[in-house]
Structure 1
């Protein structure tokens, strides 16, 4: 069975984009949220990034799932799986198949802001697994967690937030997101969280600044999105991609650095923005975690961490926590 709910309309997305861009381009320093990377080209570029030799994250997470998926399925003992920010859902298939082998999984609820991309991937899964109730939701999980169709009373749910999605939040919003996930669950339900771990800064920077320049193209693509969606006149080629490690906050920052002084007009916002030569605009943070710190954040949000798995090299973790 396949269904899809739309909690986000094109108008909602347009309003959110306008708000984020107006606030971000007039703030000091300037910034843009990373969710606007993902138009059709941005999504294709990110898929390419996941295959790069420097980008260990996708391979490391998949390595955990390949070895531990059955163990995760037994520990969660859930009949409903909700994936926040599901994307293509390729790695999630390992988890879905394991939960099917465990004999419990009845419903899968993938959630993503990209409606066309979500509909295509969720429908393929429903065609492959006709016994599974696939109920896709087009929505922003930072806003719409309370609207998710996540199972009847008496069932057991697991919410999964994979990849390094949590790390894209700064500490305040991150705590709010964890509390919202907890509020969507009943005691005894589970939360599977992917987290990239602190490691050699040279490896971290290389993962966000690959030799082929794919990540640089991905970063600059946000300017093309603004040109297309808001009638801006950015010259993406006039900005350099910057990736750096902040040892104090233990996160990677991606920025765009203007090569020259320039004035940008955003027609749909009736906004003119000046960039000085060398001025940098932040487009993403990607926090890296330590086990103890992550456990404390989960406990503060109302979870009891129960299981912790990593790939053989200890690069990436999947942790299963119980809602208390």
Structure 2
């Protein structure tokens, strides 16, 4: 018989407190920046789902292809009885793993959004009446404690989200994941790979302008949540490839000199003409670099799979 449990590890106002802190810090300094997690209000999530269906945006399709092709190998390599998914969202791609794990007992989706967790869990339980789902409302970047569930456990971090963290942040995060793993557990990690600049930039600057709308939506979030008076039309969407760091940066560039008020914080933010606000870093990886970063965190890369075009990778790691 299926079961569902929801546990909150975040304080009720944690999201609002984090937003206020990030905006005060990010807009109060030069160069200006905001973490990409603030894209994802309801409208931002809808826009991102639209982005994943664009012809230019290959990562979602490439990762799904690997899962379809390799799910059996992943299941055989880890033999998981519990699947933990960090940043689970709608759990769409997770269904491929769930179907491939014959001995699965428990699914632990982890997300900051209670509504996303509840919606996804309801759909999964309707399809899989024997599954036990224990959803965690938590911020996995802050450290995480997992409930006691049958092992081995497979911790999945899909979608290339690791690339949104800066190198130092990735090291802290991977060490925190390592601290969750027991001797027979595994980490399944999705990473977008370095490739030609034109393909990379197009994925973040599509011809239909959906990514530009997505990028500017963060300003709507600040207007609504912090009583700011940003006009998204005052900013241009920018996506550029940083060859030195091997990452894509998304930015918003002020079309003219202006001042924005963030009333909730009693903050006035000035922009010079052409000044940019960085809203996302999306690092791209090479196999050796992933291996080294995992090794520095105390894990050993044991399997490496790419899609047929070599654009994206899933790796499986064990305790070192």
Q: Which category of TM-score, normalised to the shorter sequence, fits these structures?
A: over 0.9
Partner of 2:221: 225
In 1, are the aligned partners of 2:80 and 2:154 still within 8 Å (CA)? yes
Q: Which residue of 2 aligns with 1:50?
A: 52
Q: Which residue matches 2:285?
A: 289
1:135 lines up with 2:134 in the alignment: yes
* Cα shift at 1:234: 0.4
Q: TM-score by structure 2 length? A: 0.98
Structure 2 residue 146 is the aligned partner of structure 1 residue 148: yes
Distance 1:314 1:292 in 2: 15
SS in 1 for 2:14: helix
Q: Secondary structure at the match of 1:142?
A: helix
Q: Runs (4+) of structure 1 moved beyond 4 Å?
A: none
Q: Give the TM-score of the pair, scaled to structure 1.
A: 0.96
Once the two structures are superposed, residues 79-123 of structure 1 have per-residue CA deviations (whole angstroms, 9 ceiling, x without a partner) of 111000111111110011101xxx321000011111112211122
1:215 aligns with 2:214: no
**What is the DSSP-based 3-state SS (H/G/I as helix, E as strand, rest coil) of the residue aligned with 1:159?**
strand
**2:4 is matched with which residue?**
2
Once the two structures are TM-superposed, the CA of residue 150 in structure 1 deviates from its matched residue by: 5.0
**CA deviations over 1:254-305 (Å, ceiling 9, x no partner):** 0000111111111111111101110000000000000011101101111111
CA distance in 2 between partners of 1:208 and 1:98 (Å) = 32
Q: Which residue of 1 aligns with 2:90?
A: 88
Question: Contact between 1:306 and 1:320, CA under 8 Å: does it hold in 2?
Answer: yes
Q: Return the offset for 1:143.
A: 1.1
Q: 1:321 to 1:277 in 2, by over 3 A?
A: same
Match runs of 1:20-31 below 5 Å? 20-31=22-33
| 1:134-213 alignment runs, 5 A limit | 134-145=133-144, 147-149=145-147, 151-152=149-150, 155-213=151-209
**Gaps (5+ residues) in structure 2?**
none
**Corresponding residue to 1:237 among 216, 233, 244:** 233
Change (3 A) 1:10 1:240: farther
Deviation readout 1:51-76 (Å, 9 max, x if unpaired): 00000000000000011011101101
Written as runs of structure 1 = structure 2, the 5 A alignment for 1:4-19 is: 4-19=6-21
Say whether residues 1:273 and 2:269 are aligned partners: yes
Mapped partners of 2:133, 2:96: distance in 1: 16
Distance 1:107 1:59 in 2: 26
Matched, 1:119 2:118: yes
1:150–1:157 CA contact under 8 A, matched in 2:
no
Give the whole-Å Cα distance in 2 for the aligned partners of 1:299 and 1:39.
Answer: 35
Contact 1:159 1:190 in 2 (8 A): yes
Q: Is the 8 A contact 1:82 1:150 kept in 2?
A: no
How far apart, in 2, do the equivalents of 1:132 and 1:105 lie? 8
Aligned length: 318
- The corresponding residue for 1:34 is 36
Match of 1:304 among 274, 293, 300: 300
1:100-119 equivalences in 2 (<5 Å): 103-119=102-118
